[in-house]
Structure 1
Amino acid sequence: MAKIALALAARGTDEGAFKAWGTRAVGASNTKQWGSGKELLTHLVNASRGGENCIERLYIFSHAWPYIPGGNRGGVKLGGIDVAGFYSQPSIYDDADARYMNDFAQLVQQGKITFCSSCKVIFTGCRVASSQFPVEFLYVSGCEVIASNGSSHPKPGTPPGDETGQWLSTAGGWTEQQAKKNENHYVGWVNYSLKPNGEVEETRLGEEIRIW
């Protein structure tokens, strides 16, 4: 079974940046664009090639969520008011091409999507960690998951994080800044992994990490 690295870059707003980041992370040939949850899962199926390959490293470059006290719906999306992404649960307003964690789980159980025994998934969208979505993905895939609990973006500098792979996750607006200051709200990166007993271990990585 061949081990592969894959980057999935969202179409729409900022698609040029998403595609460029994917290319830097895993190369152009291993970077695919997606415009719906349906297409995102199809790329995972195609990459697995009926079990001939296993996914060892997966980047999902996308938009996600604004700061919402108490957390968000969970998932990744294409930017703006988006109803065709990949989410934890359905919403009444979703597009027919939206997909959900149950769809993903079925494809993994059927062997149509295969992950290596040791694998890592990185979600770069803002506040993906402000929900149960990373934990759900961890349980289905068995992969270590890294996600942001704040406003995520490449680190400015010379050279910039777009080139070096250094990314920040910080407070993105006044409300979130006040939550960080007054409520000790964490806005950095979170690493999710499974303990030997099957429990989830969440490790706070701080506001700066290197993702490639």
Structure 2
Amino acid sequence: MAKVPLALAATGRDEVAFQSWAINAVGREHAKQWRSGKNLLEHLVQATDGGRNCIKKLIIFSHAWPFDPNGNRGGVKIGGPDINGFYLNQRLYDHEDARYLSDLARLVRSGEVQFCDDQEIIFTGCRVASSEFPIKLVELTKGTVIAANGSSFPKQGNPPGDQTGEWMSGVNLWEEQQAAKQGHYVGWLKYTYDPNTQQVIEEEVGQKTKQGYVFKVW
């Protein structure tokens, strides 16, 4: 079984940047655009190729969530209305092309989507870690998930982070700045499945800087 990388770039707002980053991360052959949750899962099925492959590294470039002290609905969305993304749970207003972790679970159980034993999934969208979504995904895949708990963007510099793969997770706007001053963590979080305890281990990762926390996505 071949171990393959895959980078998925959301369409809509900022799609040109997302696609460029996906190509930089894994090469043009393994970089695909996704336009809905349905399409995102289709790419996972295609990458698995009828059981001939397993997905070793998956990077999802997308938009996600503004700061909310109560967290968010969980998941990722394309650059447009929040109705047809890939989410933790269903909501009444969702588009018919939205998909959920429960849909991925069915594909994993049927073998249509296969992750390698040492797989890693990285989300670059803002505040993907500010929900139960990463934990539930780790429980499903039995691997590792890395996501930002703050505002996520390529690191500034020469060369910039969209070339080097270095990304920041930090604060945006006054309310989140105040929360960070009071101890709210705005960096990267790594979630790993422990087969011995069957629990998900949460770990803060990345290097702290004045702008936030730096993590090398690729």
Per-residue deviation, residues 175-202 of structure 1 (Å, max 9, x unmatched): 00000112x0000000000122111100
Answering whether residue 185 of structure 2 is matched by residue 186 of structure 1, we say yes
Q: Which runs of 5+ in 2 are unaligned?
A: 207-212
Tell me if structure 1 keeps the 8 A contact 2:37–2:86. Answer: yes
Residues 86-105 of structure 1: pairs in structure 2 closer than 5 A: 86-105=86-105
| Aligned residues of 2:129 and 2:189 also touching (Cα < 8 A) | yes
Partner of 2:217: 211
| SS in structure 2 of the partner of residue 208 of structure 1 | strand
Q: CA deviation at 1:79?
A: 2.8
Structure 1 CA distance for aligned equivalents of residues 43 and 159 of structure 2: 31
Question: What amino acid is the match of 2:117?
Answer: S
Following TM superposition, by how much is the alpha carbon of 1:81 offset from its aligned partner in structure 2, in angstroms? 3.1
* Cα offsets for 1:160-183 (capped at 9, x unmatched): 00111110000111100000112x
Q: Work out the CA distance in 2 between the residues paired with 1:69 and 1:80.
A: 23
AA paired with 2:216?
R
Q: Aligned partners of 2:15, 2:67: CA distance in 1, in Å?
A: 22
Separation in structure 2 between the aligned mates of residue 81 and residue 22 of structure 1, nearest angstrom: 22
AA aligned to 1:118 is D
Residue 177 (1) aligns with residue 177 (2): yes
Partner residue of 2:14?
14
SS in 2 for 1:130: coil
Residue pairs, 1:21-100, within 5 angstroms: 21-100=21-100
Name the aligned partner's letter for residue 169 of structure 1: S
Distance 1:139 1:109 in 2: 13
Partner of 1:148: 148
> Normalising by structure 2, what TM-score?
0.95
1:135 equivalent in structure 2: 135
CA distance in structure 2 between the partners assigned to 1:137 and 1:50 by the alignment: 22
2: distance between equivalents of 1:53 and 1:194?
22
Q: Which range is displaced more, 5-14 or 72-81?
A: 72-81
Q: Which amino acid aligns with 1:20?
A: S
By how many angstroms is 1:82 displaced?
Answer: 1.5
Which residue identity lines up with residue 60 of structure 1 in the other structure?
Answer: I
State the distance in 2 between where 1:50 and 1:140 align: 20
In the superposition, the TM-score normalised over structure 1's length comes to 0.98
Question: AA paired with 2:27?
Answer: G
Cα distance in 2, alignment partners of residues 172 and 55 from structure 1: 33
Q: Say which SS state the counterpart of residue 134 (structure 2) adopts.
A: helix
Between the aligned partners of 1:14 and 1:137, the Cα distance in structure 2 is 26
Q: Is 1:106 equivalent to 2:106 in the alignment?
A: yes
CA contact (8 A) 2:12 2:80 kept: no
8 Å Cα contact 2:190/2:203 also seen in 1: yes
Q: What code does the residue aligned with 2:199 have?
A: E
The number of residues matched between the two structures is 211
d(CA) in 2 for partners of 1:192, 1:115? 16
* Structure 1 residue 80 displacement after superposition: 4.2
